Amino acid sequence: MTSTEDRAAATALKVKGNEAFAHHDWPSAIDFYTKAIEKYDADPTFYSNRAQANIKLEAYGYAIADASKAIELDKDFIKAYWRRAIANTAILDSQNALRDFKTVVRKEPNNRDAKLKLAECEKMVKKIQFLKAIEVAEPPSAFEGLDLDSMQVEDTYDGLRLKDEMTQEFIDDMIERFKNGKTIHKKYVFQIIKAVRDIVYNEATMVEVDVASDTNLTVCGDTHGQFFDLLEIFRLNGYPTEKHGYLFNGDFVDRGSWSCEIALLLYAYKWLRPSYFFLNRGNHETDDMNRVYGFEGECKAKYNEKTFKLFSESFSALPLATLVGKKYLTLHGGLFSDDKITLDDIRKLDRHSQRQPGQQGLMMEMLWTDPQPQPGRGPSKRGVGLQFGPDVTKRFCENNGLEAVIRSHEVRMDGYEVEHDGKCITVFSAPKYCDSTENKGAYINIGPELKLEYHQFEAVPHPDIKPMAYAQNSLMSMM
């Protein structure tokens, strides 16, 4: 039986959690709510508050479990139904989200905001059903019939002209245009995407690179449409050259509202320096995420629907991993459900036969999994994929002669984190993520000695455009 003192202590911990939440320190908030639950586990608000903090950290699976526990304790707890609906929306489980929004409206029939969200969720369910109905096994290539030669650039276009090859001068002009809120001509957009799609299509599923004696390589994590923070990386660390390579480890797009600018700039550098600039696919370089989290809407708003289709097909051609100096496997998500998976299995994976990662299999795991502190494997805190422990990482590194796995995919308050006895490294390069998380950004420099140097940086000011500005419904802006 819980004592009055324990309840009071638990409530005090909840208050501390609320204070941490107000300061956008989601991990500390979760820690306080967890301690409150350990003191007293019958208060539904503890679970509901932790659910909201988990939503902020994109731990949607955990959020659903917490909201469900709150509902179990109080069947009329409207906020818990609401948060569970938001978390299910985030993992694209619109059917379960719809059920909870209906419950909220039934219990609060005069709640106008709930009615609006219910209508949006119903629209989302219908759209998903429609897309499934028209889905074909082998859609035609978006590049089929793309006649760049016949596309005219108007005399009124005030940007630098692009010919048959990318140049540093064009990139410099493009950066200035993007900084000033301008776009580039859609012919050049198509030209850049096509050139890079052709380059990356012919790269291995796992690109293998060495760091030569007079060069270095910078590994960056998620940039998520935060264009001005990407420019800050280049300002602090140097722009890409033949002596200074870069590897961007997925999730270039979505959430931030300059995803087109980031994708085009990274692609332009890939075209200019294909042997010194590398791109891994992330879980947000996929159609279902782009439709919900803003990139599709941004492409249509800034250019046209064709632009999104071209990007979509180019994303599916991106490599899934990069092996640096035979020591560091770099991939967006993490490790696998089977200890028998080796680097050779990644090498042999035919990524071209499956454009989208699906709900299971090697590609899905490479894009979606996360580390956990406990040994073994566990269910995903996201509700998609799985989690792997330090023993899993140790076995994988030993079996494949690796020093460590470098991955991204998760916010880290310090911009990076070294886990699993130094064998699992997370790097995240979107500081003040979505303008709402007080995290630093980070990148890793690797020299010819293959030592890792971690660099942190702060977010920089950007024009007053909110994250998720191009998401197709306001459900997503709540996350």
d(CA 424, CA 403): 9
Query: Judging by beta carbons within 10 Å of its beta carbon (0-12, 13-18, 19+), is residue 266 exposed, middle or buried?
Result: buried
Q: How far from each other are the two terminal CA atoms of the chain, in whole angstroms? A: 37
Q: Answer for the pair 413, 440: CB distance below 8 angstroms, yes or no.
A: yes
Q: What secondary structure does DSSP assign to 223-248, as a single string?
A: -TT-HHHHHHHHHHH----SSEEEEE
Residues counted in the chain: 479
φ/ψ (deg, to 5) at 140: -65, 155
Extended beta strands in 216-301, E state: 216-220, 244-248, 277-279
Residue type, 371: P
The H-or-E segment that residue 18 falls in is helix 4-22
Residue entry with tokens 């708003």: 301
DSSP 8-state secondary structure symbol assigned to residue 399: H
Q: Answer for the pair 35, 7: CB distance below 8 angstroms, yes or no.
A: no
Residue among 284, 332, 409, 420 flagged as catalytic: 284
Q: Which of 346, 190, 199 is nearest to 271 (CA)?
A: 199
Alpha helix (H) ranges present in 304-430?
A: 305-317, 343-348, 362-368, 390-400
Residue 61 makes CB contacts below 8 A (sequence gap 6+) with 87, 91, 379, 380, 381, 382, 383, 384
Q: Which of 273, 190, 176, 188 is nearest to 227 (CA)?
A: 176
Burial 431-465 (b: 16+ CB within 10 A, else e): bbbbbebebbbbbbbbeeeeebeebebebeebeee
Residue entry with tokens 């197709």: 472
DSSP 8-state secondary structure symbol assigned to residue 410: S
d(CA 99, CA 92): 14
Instruction: Determine whether 23 is an active site residue.
Output: no
d(CA 167, CA 78): 56
* Token digits of residue 415: 């911009």
Known catalytic residues? 284
